[in-house]
Chains A and B, each alone.
Chain A
């Protein structure tokens, strides 16, 4: 029972982690809380739905299509709503712009699709496997494996590739990076693309898992994932992964052993507790100010 709940928690947590990565990467590089990120996730879920219902593609193709679509959408949002403000006005303006984009995107989807919940067509046969005395559904296995692959892939990309190196350089000192010949606007754009693609993959998987997508699904998921990113230490990529998984597991355990009506209260309660004890988050670095 406990182990099964743990697996459920990890399943939910990996979707939080996928979204949280986008928050933390963007924050790491331009110190912006991209409040529109939850809506990118929602658009990802709908893009997957569209592909499935129009072309009857399988879950993986739907995911890839949604990721490609959201890459473009994420870069577009950055180009239109954030870049014109960068360097010219305060960070607060960009934050307000992000809230505006968030409202715009969710309302846009509500206009297109209506506010009702849409069910995902059954595109995957759900088998239940008994492994080591555990009941695992095939969908849970897909979510856990795909999320793990994406996170490992991201980590390799950041550590090994030239783009990853440029991203790390930009997140440490944006000005110095551009003086070393790095086109920082382009790196920021790629950061949005990668974060958005991860959120889209999460959106498709969550849509199928809970069999429901709706225009405002990004709001709560976005808040939870943002909390996960802060919990893990905002700006830290491993932190976002750990934060997401931790939040998912604690939330499911809380529901299982306390009450499901406390679901969201548990998530945010944990956030508050952790921040009291460790303000920089689990993996975050303490910034000491010299006086």
Chain B
């Protein structure tokens, strides 16, 4: 059994079926792509896996436990990290603090410990500091750690979001359109970066992406959604040649 599986997951919004009995099986250590036209339900799927929505039907199994209905912060603490389609950094926090916020959920801090700065707290804070530096180095932002997240360039903000998600020490990382708005060379370095963090941090990566080059290049497996339904699932070569995918995703004549 994989690290994450969805069993007949449906999500309804006031009569609109955004996801219709979706089944997925994601194996640990793989890069798993989810593609589909706009409005196919890709982001809804992410929102279900991260606990923002509780699915109307079906089950989400993560590390052999049903997780639907658990609050987002609990899932984050269990190692599901994510980035957002439209970047959602804490703009008025420094780059370093953005990453440190990610650590705080997974370390313990009581109310008074946090207010008074007790010794145990201080020690923890130190180890958080060094791990945060390490992550920022990895994404190449350590020299900008004191800047407001607001002031970073677009590509840097995307990388900071990934660093912030990695602070959770995740087992499963969800990337929502990581290549959006990037030029060709940025995309190339993003692809090698994604592979690199997968190997270094022992991650399973689930990604939504519109850029077919990126998806076909780095994904081990791809699922295709269309109008909330999964219409294909398999390795890139197979999906690329699936007549239903060509029909609905690329247009009939493509």
Chain A: residues with CB nearer than 8 A to chain B? 157, 160-163, 165-166, 168-169, 172-173, 175-184, 190
CB contact between A180 and one of B76, B109, B114 (< 8 Å): that residue: B76
Q: Measured between alpha carbons, how far is A17 from B76 in the docked complex, in Å?
A: 37
**Contact indicator B104/A173 (Cβ below 8 Å):** no
**Contact indicator A168/B104 (Cβ below 8 Å):** no
CB neighbours of B125 from chain A (8 A): 162
**Contact indicator A162/B72 (Cβ below 8 Å):** no
**Contact indicator B90/A181 (Cβ below 8 Å):** no
Q: Please name 20 further chain A to chain B contacts, defined as beta carbons within 8 Å, in addition to the given A179-B82, A180-B168, sorted by A numbering.
A: A161-B115, A162-B121, A162-B125, A163-B111, A163-B114, A165-B93, A165-B100, A168-B93, A169-B90, A172-B93, A173-B88, A175-B88, A176-B84, A177-B101, A179-B72, A180-B102, A180-B164, A180-B165, A183-B105, A184-B73
Instruction: Specify the chain B residue showing the minimal Cβ separation from A194.
Output: B115
Chain B nearest Cβ from A162, distance in angstroms: 5
17 A-B contacts (beta carbon < 8 Å): A157-B115, A161-B115, A163-B109, A163-B114, A166-B101, A166-B104, A172-B93, A176-B84, A178-B71, A178-B73, A179-B50, A179-B52, A179-B82, A180-B73, A180-B105, A181-B106, A183-B73
A-B CB proximity, top 8 nearest: A181-B105, A181-B76, A163-B114, A178-B72, A176-B88, A178-B73, A172-B90, A183-B73
Q: Measured between alpha carbons, how far is A178 from B71 in the docked complex, in Å?
A: 8
B244 within 8 A of A: no
CB neighbours of A182 from chain B (8 A): 73, 101, 104-105
CB contact between B72 and one of A166, A169, A173, A175 (< 8 Å): that residue: A175
The secondary structure that dominates the A interface is helix
Q: Measured between alpha carbons, how far is A183 from B106 in the docked complex, in Å?
A: 11
Chain A nearest Cβ from B66, distance in angstroms: 20
B77 within 8 A of A: yes
**Contact indicator B90/A176 (Cβ below 8 Å):** yes
Q: Measured between alpha carbons, how far is A178 from B101 in the docked complex, in Å?
A: 10
CB neighbours of A183 from chain B (8 A): 71, 73, 105
**Count: A-B pairs, CB below 8 Å:** 79
B97 within 8 A of A: yes
Q: Measured between alpha carbons, how far is A60 from B88 in the docked complex, in Å?
A: 44
Instruction: Specify the chain B residue showing the minimal Cβ separation from A160.
Output: B117
Q: Measured between alpha carbons, how far is A166 from B93 in the docked complex, in Å?
A: 10
CB neighbours of A157 from chain B (8 A): 115
Q: Measured between alpha carbons, how far is A176 from B111 in the docked complex, in Å?
A: 21
Q: Measured between alpha carbons, how far is A166 from B105 in the docked complex, in Å?
A: 9
Chain B: interface size category: 20 to 34
Instruction: Specify the chain A residue showing the minimal Cβ separation from B107.
Output: A162
Q: Measured between alpha carbons, how far is A42 from B221 in the docked complex, in Å?
A: 62
B92 within 8 A of A: yes
B43 within 8 A of A: no
Chain B nearest Cβ from A201, distance in angstroms: 15
Q: Measured between alpha carbons, how far is A184 from B89 in the docked complex, in Å?
A: 16
CB neighbours of B106 from chain A (8 A): 181
Chain B nearest Cβ from A175, distance in angstroms: 7
**Contact indicator B77/A181 (Cβ below 8 Å):** yes
Q: Measured between alpha carbons, how far is A161 from B121 in the docked complex, in Å?
A: 10
B91 within 8 A of A: yes
Chain A nearest Cβ from B165, distance in angstroms: 8
Chain A nearest Cβ from B140, distance in angstroms: 21
CB neighbours of A173 from chain B (8 A): 88, 90
Q: Measured between alpha carbons, how far is A183 from B105 in the docked complex, in Å?
A: 8
Instruction: Specify the chain B residue showing the minimal Cβ separation from A175.
Output: B52
Q: Measured between alpha carbons, how far is A177 from B104 in the docked complex, in Å?
A: 11
CB neighbours of B52 from chain A (8 A): 175, 179
CB neighbours of A161 from chain B (8 A): 114-115, 117
**Contact indicator A181/B50 (Cβ below 8 Å):** no
Chain A nearest Cβ from B238, distance in angstroms: 33
Q: Measured between alpha carbons, how far is A181 from B111 in the docked complex, in Å?
A: 16
Chain B nearest Cβ from A184, distance in angstroms: 7
Chain B nearest Cβ from A287, distance in angstroms: 13
Chain B nearest Cβ from A238, distance in angstroms: 13
CB contact list, B74-99 vs A, under 8 A: 76-77, 82, 84, 88-93, 97
Q: Measured between alpha carbons, how far is A180 from B170 in the docked complex, in Å?
A: 11
**Contact indicator B104/A162 (Cβ below 8 Å):** yes
Of the candidates B97, B104, B109, the one having the most CB atoms from chain A within 10 angstroms of its own CB is B104
**Contact indicator B114/A168 (Cβ below 8 Å):** no
